[in-house]
Amino acid sequence: MIHMIVLATRNQGKVREMREILRDFPVEIRSLNDFGPIPEVDEDGATFDDNAYKKAAFTAKVLGLPAMADDSGLVVPALHGAPGVHSARYAGKEAADRDNIDKLLREMAGLTDRRAAFECVISLAVPSGPALTYVGRCEGEIAPAPSGGEGFGYDPVFYYPPFGKTFAELSMEEKNRVSHRGAALREMVAEFDKVLTWLRLRLAEAKAPKPDHRQFENNDWSEAKS
């Protein structure tokens, strides 16, 4: 049996990535681009888990198909967990990556605790509501200044000690081996056979039960009153 899973995104890069990762499993990966207009989900959750589940559950319910979504960001202990769920709009709703980086460095000025982590949560939900959650995390530090021309977001200031480079100085292959999103995806893929079993059971539960025709066995319809 082939399961269709909808990625709650219009990012074709993520779609290609997921198709490649799950190529050996009986799944068909679709995206929001394969369907009609779907309202945007307001990512107003307090945690990455909240936002990932909200997107996945909403998409699954609207389309009547299993759906997968992720949410991720940068967590800095010295800033009480900021930027956190506001990572993409840390310097404002229309802020560019450089604006967010500049604000982060200003707030880190003079702080000796430079610890930071990228976190990612992936949620796979079925239309009836239940979901599976996978979490990935990558520990690093905030560099004093941007370095490197690869990647996006906070990559130029996220220093990864084991490689002695920022994420923006890593090749795509190096980054995928250690990234937070890669870690969450590997955790999911490692048990994807169990995921498929879970999907089959949850989808079967959601179907309306067939009528029990035995309740009509003793009815004598010839005597039915008009």
Give the count of alpha carbons within 13 A of 216, CB side only.
5
Angle at 18 between CA 123 and CA 160, to 5 degrees: 80
CA distance 106 to 122: 31
* DSSP conformational letter for 39: P
CA distance 11 to 55: 14
Give which of 5, 54, 6 is closest to 33, Cα–Cα: 6
Identify residue 109 by its one-letter amino acid code: A
- Strands 158-160, 67-75: pairing is unpaired
Q: Which residues are catalytic?
A: 71
DSSP string, 186-226: HHHHHTHHHHHHHHHHHHHHHSPPPP-GGGGTT--GGG---
Give which of 16, 123, 31, 20 is closest to 69, Cα–Cα: 123
How many residues does the structure list for the chain? 226
Supply 167's token pair. Answer: 């994420």
